Amino acid sequence: MAGHWGYLRAVAEALEAAGLPVADWRADPGVPRDGWIPFDRGRPSVVTWEHDQAGLSWSEVDGWSLLLINTPGRRTAVRLAVPLVAAPFSLVRAVADQAGHILQPGDSPTSMDFDGPPGTPEFEHALSRYA
């Protein structure tokens, strides 16, 4: 059940490599499994976040969302149109698109995308690629 730890780590590393610095990342072992990757607004980034906080949330049930938080406690969740277990670069591209940033051509492919139901052997296999 912990296969999502490596997956979230891989997404955080891909974001960092693309110039979208992250503050940290968390993979929660509860049911359903989920996680959070907050962006580090204190470091130079290829995008400018006009929010007090921004980050990605993932749930094995609901998939990926970009969370934009402004004080006092106003949150906006933007669902990202990516597969449930999207390849890390698919997430980089989706975040860049939402932020209005154009990625350079020739970046990583999305051949590792998986959009099947959670709880299946195929879903667990898709997560295990990142272990």
Q: pTM for the complete prediction?
A: 0.91
In total, how many domains does the chain have?
Answer: 1
Distant-in-sequence, close-in-space partners of 42: CB < 8 Å, separation ≥ 6: none
User: What residue numbers bound the domain in which 25 lies?
Assistant: 1-129
Degrees, nearest 5: CA angle 75-7-3: 110
Distant-in-sequence, close-in-space partners of 123: CB < 8 Å, separation ≥ 6: 60, 84, 85, 114, 116, 117
Residue 109 has pLDDT above 70, yes or no: no
Residue 6 is predicted with a pLDDT of 94
For the stretch 2-31, pLDDT in tens is 689 999 999 999 999 999 999 999 999 889
Residue 105 has pLDDT above 60, yes or no: no
For the stretch 68-103, pLDDT in tens is 998 887 889 999 999 999 999 999 999 999 988 877
